Structure 1
Amino acid sequence: MKKNVLKSVSMMIVLLSAFMTACSQQAGTGAPAGQNAGSSEPGASAAKSKNDEVVIGFSVGTMKQERWQREVKMAQKYADEKGFKLIVQSCEEDAAKQVQQVEGMLTQGIDALLISAQDSESSGVIVEKAHQAGVPVVAYDRLVRNGDLDYYITFDNVKVGELQAKMLADRYPKGNYIWVLGGPEDNNAHLLKQGQESVLKPYMDKGDIKIVVQQWAKGWNPEEALKIAENGLTKAKNDVVAVIASNDGTAGGVVQALESQGLAGKVGVSGQDADIAALQRIVEGKQTGTVYKPTQVLNQTAMDLVYALAAKDEAKIKELNSGNFKNGHVGTVDNGTKKVTSLLMDVQLVTKENVVDTVIKDGYQKMEDIYKNMPKDQWPKAQ
């Protein structure tokens, strides 16, 4: 009897031990590391399924300018149409804040990053952090320097500068100029200067054009441009024939300075971006012209690229790398670390004479908005 009891107890211990082992394996899935329970494919847990949502980060330097408000809306519309999540953040001209914001995006699990760098020189650290998380980076319109950048998409900014300077030099080949450069923290401003200088230098060397003031407008700030223009006018005793303003925002500050001296419409003024306020000044005769950069084309191409990178769509990536996109070409830009594959969009000069055939025809701006300050009898006839 005693033997039977001991035998029964031993049997119960064996059964209990087997039961506990089975439970333990079930709680831990019982599958080898890197393999999902119920799946025979190793590493299945690391890969995204087709139903997982693609998440893209879009980091911009400012939302104060009209163009960036417009382009963020374009990007969001693209994301809505394609069905992926777009995280947009603006650092409002604070480079350190932009780094922190991107770190937050990486924590949220973005698959690719599109960035308009606030500070081109110091933004290489952002690329490094993104790559550590396995996230590709595309620089949008503003170059990221000093980092292993994956792609750069922008307009041909040297060409923009050339168009600005040529427009003024053709109309004002002799006389005093004020030269308002863009934000020194933005690499594009330096490329613009390169293009502007290539046109102006022969005139300057001959002594036909004299630069009375040349100064950077930090942050592309219109108030900075206003002060630079005021200083130039004072120095030249208002004897100025033209002002090279590097974008439409700075052009606005320049025109304000000219208006205070009764010179608006008498002095040539350049710009870029085809902002509505600039186009209004152009048809009113206060600004000579602007450079139209079809941002809808830039934005579409940038979103195509960053979405393809996020979704690992190799066919689309190859297509874009081969130059198969609208109104542009593929080149390279040296960012101080490497020659970055760059998608460069075409640009076009806009003056009062061709405003209808450019920005209005493309649907970029509306005629009623551009000409709203003009008498109806001075509006162009409907095409």
Structure 2
Amino acid sequence: MGYAIAQSLVDKLMADGVPDGAGVLQINGSPTDAAAGLIRDGVHRSLEGSVYKTLSEFDTPDWAPPKAQEWTAGQITRFGGDIMGIVAANDGTGGGAIAALKAAGVDPLPPVTGNDATIAALQLIIAGDQYNTISKPSEIVAEAAAKVAKTLLDGGTPEATSTLYDTPSQLFVPAVVTQENIKAEIFDKGIQIPDEVCTGEYAEPCKTMGITQ
């Protein structure tokens, strides 16, 4: 997931003609969360293989959005217009970064990533404030887990399609969601319904994007 969101951002910067050597910020999750470490390593793999440089990096205590916002505000003061993108490990930290950018009057906003496809993040993507998020529907994993359980109950051996940390596993590729595919990945698949997302100020952009009529 970390590689996917960061690579999506790198591809966006390159498509927009952002020059080699431009800088991005990296906002990681909690330093005490093993999953955050895996996401961080994926981000590193993408950014270190890109033409862009990491201006600064932050491990967000408890994944707390206010902490991400506070840190980002300091980096805006420090780097200003040199910040061409922000890789945030989840939607909460990404939302904190966006809040800091808006509070500082940054316009236009640099692309900011996320992860989890929360309603708030989907609304920010629809509004053009957040660049991407990751959709990893629990239904996919739940269905696979149910099949494994049934196979075991029937006396069979579940089929592993890969190995992770010496453990037979099935791995799924999450979808990177941007404005370009949000309708297909989120609404057409029924992961969220327009009535829950396309509210208030987001109603008109949803119509423009064809999510609602």
Same fold (TM over 0.5): yes
Residues 93-146 of structure 1: CA deviation (Å, up to 9, x unaligned): xxxxxxxxxxxxxxxxxxxxxxxxxxxxxxxxxxxxxxxxxxxxxxxxxxxxxx
> Which residue number in structure 1 is paired with residue 29 of structure 2?
182
Gaps of 5+ in 2: none
| In 1: Cα distance, 2:162 partner to 2:209 partner | 41
Identity of aligned residues (%): 26
- State the AA in 2 paired with 1:224: K
The within-5 A match list for 1:326-365 is 330-334=161-165, 339-365=166-192
Go from structure 1 to structure 2 and tell me whether the alpha carbon gap of 1:186 and 1:304 turns closer, same or farther (over 3 Å shift). farther
Matches of 2:61 and 2:150 in 1, distance apart? 35
CA distance in structure 2 between the aligned counterparts of 1:255 and 1:166, rounded to whole angstroms: 19
| Residue 159 (structure 2) aligns with | 322
Partner of 1:135: none
- Counting only pairs closer than 5 Å after superposition, residues 204-353 of structure 1 correspond to structure 2 as 208-263=51-106, 265-305=108-148, 307-308=149-150, 313-315=153-155, 318=157, 321-323=158-160, 330-334=161-165, 339-353=166-180
Matched, 1:380 2:210: yes
Task: Please point out which of 361, 368, 380 is paired with 2:195.
Answer: 368
In structure 1, distance between residues paired with 2:43 and 2:98: 20
What is the 5 A alignment of 1:69-148? none
CA distance in 1, matches of 2:194, 2:108: 21
Question: CA–CA distance in 2 between the matches of 1:185 and 1:275?
Answer: 22
Distance 1:263 1:296 in 2: 38
CA distance in 2, matches of 1:177, 1:222: 19
Distance of 1:249 and 1:302 partners within structure 2: 28
Q: Distance in 2 between matches of 1:163 and 1:184?
A: 20
SS of match in other structure, 1:172: helix
CA distance in 2, matches of 1:332, 1:195: 18
Alpha-carbon distance between aligned partners in 2 of 1:301 and 1:216, rounded to the nearest angstrom: 32
Q: Which amino acid aligns with 1:212?
A: L
Aligned to 1:166: 7
Q: Which has the larger radius of gyration?
A: 1
* Counterparts of 2:135 and 2:211, CA distance in 1: 22
Q: In the superposition, relative to structure 1, how do residues 169 and 177 fare at CA in structure 2: closer, same or farther (>3 Å)?
A: same
Change (3 A) 1:186 1:303: farther
Contact 2:183 2:211 in 1 (8 A): no
SS at match of 2:23: strand
Q: 1:189 to 1:280 in 2, by over 3 A?
A: same
* Contact 1:166/1:199 (8 A) holds in 2: yes
Q: Distance in 1 between matches of 2:64 and 2:107?
A: 20
